[in-house]
Chains A and B, each alone.
Chain A
Amino acid sequence: MTLTCQDLLQHLSAYLDNELDAELTAAAEAHLATCPNCRIVLSSTQHTLTLYRRHYRRHLAPDTRQKLHAQLLELLSDER
């Protein structure tokens, strides 16, 4: 089985997530070995995901969190 660049693009996420079967994985790797453009697309997609996983985790500000919790507990006590 041989893959074109369009085929590789179609299967890129499944390849990254190790969800391709053995035959498709081998075909994707064979294509990547000979296609510098697809190697760039693959590595830049991996880098994109790494950046998000590393830098996009937000948290409630501690005072906001405390205020929200207190308001909700007050509501809970009103509900009872």
Chain B
Amino acid sequence: MQSDELARALQAGDETAFTAVFNAHADKIYRLARGLLTDEGQAECVVQDTFMRLLTKPHLFDGRADISTWLYRVAYNLSMDMLRRGQKTVAWDGETASLPEPLVLFDWRQLPEASLATADLHEQLDTAVSNLPDKLRAVFILREIEELSIAECAAVLDISPSAVKVRLHRARLQLRETLSAYLAETHSPVRQPS
């Protein structure tokens, strides 16, 4: 269904159209909210509020944007409001600062595949993302996890494509540094007491 047809169906209260949108997008919205907020309950609230917005104010989706972009944008704004209310925002104004030099030069290629599939490492993936500044986290999730294009990320976040690229680059490097530090620490040879 084209965006404008979908907008008309949703504005008419079409249950089938709504269910199709919910089924196609609920997990995506959850992943973005969960990544931004880290709290499962809050992320579920964002999913509910995002779709409630579509139900109670269907005229706000007029079909000019893709429904996916529209839902991501609403969910992003709701998540950021929630973070601000909880005073949990991690500010970042490093758009033009010089890139930090990589500090940990640990070669992952020497590690067996199994050591990259442990529960501890998966927990580290969560922690590393949650420690990113909000602006970097949002770009990273949309681009790397949700696989949106640079243009789509820019539309959701209402920033320029070049700002998306800058933030994505910073996020990737910060996550590389954090995970490399963790792996270097956990895979360094055991020191024998002297």
Chain A residues in contact with chain B, CB under 8 A? 6, 9-10, 12-14, 16, 37, 40-41, 43-45, 47-49, 51-53, 55-60, 64-65, 68-69, 71-73, 75-77, 79-80
Known: A9-B102, A48-B179, A52-B144. A68 touches B44 (CB 8 A): yes
Known: A56-B125, A58-B30, A65-B26. A51 touches B116 (CB 8 A): yes
27 contacts between A and B (CB under 8 A): A9-B101, A9-B173, A10-B99, A13-B165, A13-B172, A14-B169, A40-B107, A41-B102, A41-B105, A43-B108, A44-B107, A44-B179, A45-B173, A48-B176, A51-B116, A52-B145, A52-B175, A56-B35, A58-B30, A60-B30, A64-B44, A69-B19, A72-B51, A72-B52, A75-B52, A75-B55, A80-B13
Q: How far is the CB of A55 from chain B (nearest CB, A)?
A: 5
A60 touching B15, Cβ below 8 Å:
no
Chain A residues, CB < 8 A from B13? 76, 79-80
Chain A residues, CB < 8 A from B135? none
When C-beta atoms are compared, the residue in chain A nearest to B12 turns out to be A80
CA distance A40 to B188 in the complex (A): 16
Contact with B116, one of A6, A12, A40, A47 (Cβ below 8 angstroms): A47
When C-beta atoms are compared, the residue in chain B nearest to A52 turns out to be B144
A12 touching B125, Cβ below 8 Å:
no
B56 touching A79, Cβ below 8 Å:
yes
CA distance A12 to B102 in the complex (A): 12
Q: Which of A40, A44, A65, A80 has the most chain B CB atoms inside 10 A of its CB?
A: A44
Known: A53-B145, A76-B13. A12 touches B173 (CB 8 A): yes
Contact with A12, one of B19, B52, B169 (Cβ below 8 angstroms): B169
B92 at the interface (CB under 8 A from A): no
